[in-house]
Structure 1
Amino acid sequence: MDCPFGIYCRLQGEIFLDDLGWLRKRLTKLYKRNPHVKLLQIRVADISKGTAFLEMAAEYEKHGNLHGVVHGGAVASLADTAMGVACSTLGNKVVTVDMNINFIKNAGLGIIRAVGKVLHSGRHTMVAEAEIFDTGNVLLAKARGTFFVVGQFEQGDEEDDA
């Protein structure tokens, strides 16, 4: 499978795994139903173990601020979601405990990409980071978060997601 994030994947040496099968389908379905994710037009582009690739189609009417660029809150939501999905690729259901973000450059309207990566996976907490890029692979923001593990995803318990 080709990396949807171009040069970033080549630089990081990401390997895309298809052995996530059921979890990939499940996470995609779950996040399509998430009201906040739907509102912000965030989609899961790809996952590998411990890593998530997301995209957000930023429009002025939904994501813009008074300066004509993407509001920092929308960028932070994309980063938080990318880190949460990355944690979920290891089979954990998580909620955010703490998050910080550094805004490096204004995010323009259009497609914005996020790469979330797990840094630590413990029994009760996880630590992840996210980098936000524009379509030219320019780094726009970098975030780090701590997540509390509230359960595990297991095959066959999809009815719990309703």
Structure 2
Amino acid sequence: MDEPRTGVGLSDSARMHAIIEGIYAKTPYFKSMPCTIETVAVGRVRVGFDVSRHICNYRNIASGGVLAAFCDTLMGMACRTMGFQVTTLEINMNYIRSVNSGEHITGIGQVLHHGRNTIVVECECRNADGSLIVKGRSSFYILKKID
């Protein structure tokens, strides 16, 4: 994915980052995920994820369900940067390679389409070497504008 090209200035970007951090600081589910919000721009987020042993299967490989949950959260955040509260309509995941306990992955979520009632987002997660781990795409239904 290319780096974001937005007209958001530094102060707007910092404000948006603070808003997103505030939303997720109050979300019990997000508190249990080993994520760090790295960058936020309109329609795009970058989030780090530490793969710990407790989210791995018996082979010490990150659970596909946990990776899907991470991607869903990541893509939902991208929607929130557009100023909307959303709910997932559908999600598609392509698992490219496994990731082991102790590894760090970085996910980038980017809005592809913003319609009147739906938002379509894609994400890519890569390991420290830059290798693609998982690619996802999801459609979200817009519930309301965030205050």
Q: TM-score, normalization: structure 1?
A: 0.82
Deviation at 1:22, TM superposition (A): 3.0
Match status 1:151 vs 2:141: no
Percent identity of equivalent pairs: 26
Aligned AA for 1:108? N
Match status 1:28 vs 2:21: yes
Aligned AA for 1:14? P
Deviation at 1:120, TM superposition (A): 0.4
Counterpart for residue 130 of structure 1:
123
Match status 1:42 vs 2:32: no
Number of residue equivalences: 143
Q: TM-score, normalization: structure 2?
A: 0.89
Q: State whether residues 32 and 43 of structure 1, in contact with CA within 8 Å, keep that contact through their aligned partners in structure 2.
A: no
* Deviation by residue 1:12-44 (Cα, 9 ceiling, x = unmatched): 143574223433211112112322221121221
Aligned AA for 1:81? T
Distance 2:25 2:13 in 1: 18
Distance 1:139 1:151 in 2: 33
Distance 1:112 1:37 in 2: 16
119-128 or 25-34, which deviates more? 25-34
Distance 1:43 1:30 in 2: 13
Match status 1:68 vs 2:60: yes
Distance 1:95 1:111 in 2: 27
Deviation at 1:108, TM superposition (A): 1.9
Pick from 79, 85, 96: which aligns with 1:87? Answer: 79
Deviation at 1:143, TM superposition (A): 0.4
Q: Unpaired segments of 5 or more residues in structure 1?
A: 1-7, 155-162
Counterpart for residue 107 of structure 1:
99
Residue 80 of structure 1 aligns to a residue whose secondary structure is helix
Q: State whether residues 62 and 99 of structure 2, in contact with CA within 8 Å, keep that contact through their aligned partners in structure 1.
A: yes
RMSD value, Cα: 1.6
Distance 2:24 2:99 in 1: 23
* Deviation by residue 1:93-144 (Cα, 9 ceiling, x = unmatched): 1111110101000012221111000010012100000101111111001000
Deviating above 4 A after TM superposition, structure 1's stretches of 4 or more consecutive aligned residues are none
Distance 2:97 2:22 in 1: 32
Residue 20 of structure 1 aligns to a residue whose secondary structure is helix
Distance 1:118 1:101 in 2: 16
